[in-house]
Amino acid sequence: MSDIQLFESLRLHRETLCSSFLESATEIWRRIKLEFTVELPLLRKRWKQLLFGLIMQYVHGIFTGLAHRMHTPLEEPLHDVGFEITPELGPDKHWVSETIFGVMFFSFIAWTFTPFVTKRKRFYTAVLWPRLLMVLVTCQALRIITFTVTQVPGPSFHCRKGEVTAIRPWPKHWYQLLIVDVGRAMSKSCGDLIFSSHTTFMLTGVLAYNEYGSNAITKGLAWLGGVVLSVLIIASRKHYTVDVVVAWYTVPLVFFMMFRRWTTRRPMNEFLGNSDISQFDIVDGSEFDLDEAFEQKNGDIESKPITK
């Protein structure tokens, strides 16, 4: 093959790749716009739930700061069977559990927006997030009650007697209690133990994917990751075993109480007109194709005779 032929072949290959990339990008953008058209009316009906859920995260932060100020440290943590079973990772390996939690957390967030780019879907993002936040709000309210009425000495290394971070002084003015130190709350908090916040977030995500996800292997990996994370939380001495155990039965009970009682029917005729398309009525947990539904809807309209 001559140099000219080789150059021409490379040019054609490059043009083919560029054309394929542009077609894929155009298709993804079309799906995003189509999904946005469907999701927006659902979001308008649920924005108050979203706002309430986000405000509750701030309220939860206020109470975790209050728990830290009420915290009474001990030189050694309370006796715990889980501490005897699991090897102590040490303060220099706290990043292990945080890394696993971060990977699971951000992977889950990305998955909740897959209806905007995938051809087939099993849920609406605008419906899923208010539900998730209501589960979190309920669990966090229960959590606030438990760690506020009884202060347990923190088992973590930075919460033990003699450590500067174990005690947080009371502010001079009451309004300073409303200031949430996000960095401290994420890495150096003490006192907000029963029950584990990391386990609460993790289980909410795993249960949601188990309910609405479609890949059985991913579901298995999610549950395995949840078990590993729970063990690492105990091994890192971030929580007592009871904190993790209570979360493991409280979160599923709250989750299934809400998700089984809430309606799973999505009336779509409010923005598509009167339609007999069953895919638009039952989409929670059952897969359907948005393009096919729109084509069927348009076909029904075109088949109707025009009357004056």
Q: Quick one: how far is CA 19 from the chain centroid?
A: 36
Could you give phi then psi for residue 74, rounded to 5 degrees?
A: -120, 160
Return the active site residues: 198, 239, 243
Q: How far apart are CA 26 and CA 109, in angstroms?
A: 24
Q: Which residues pair with 282 in a beta bridge?
A: 265
Confirm if 294 and 34 have CB atoms less than 8 A apart: yes
**The two three-digit tokens of residue 43, written as one number:** 């979001």
- What type of residue is 142? L
- Residue of 148, 259, 142 whose CA lies nearest to 209: 259
Confirm if 68 and 159 have CB atoms less than 8 A apart: no
Q: How far apart are CA 16 and CA 25, in angstroms?
A: 14
CA geometry: angle 113, 117, 122, nearest 5 deg:
65
Unique residue bearing structure tokens 């493991």: 248
Unique residue bearing structure tokens 């696993």: 100
Confirm if 120 and 292 have CB atoms less than 8 A apart: no
Confirm if 240 and 249 have CB atoms less than 8 A apart: no
Query: 212: exposed, middle or buried (C-beta count within 10 Å: 0-12, 13-18, 19+)?
Result: buried
Collapsing DSSP to helix, strand or coil, 288 comes out as strand
Q: How far apart are CA 240 and CA 49, in angstroms?
A: 32
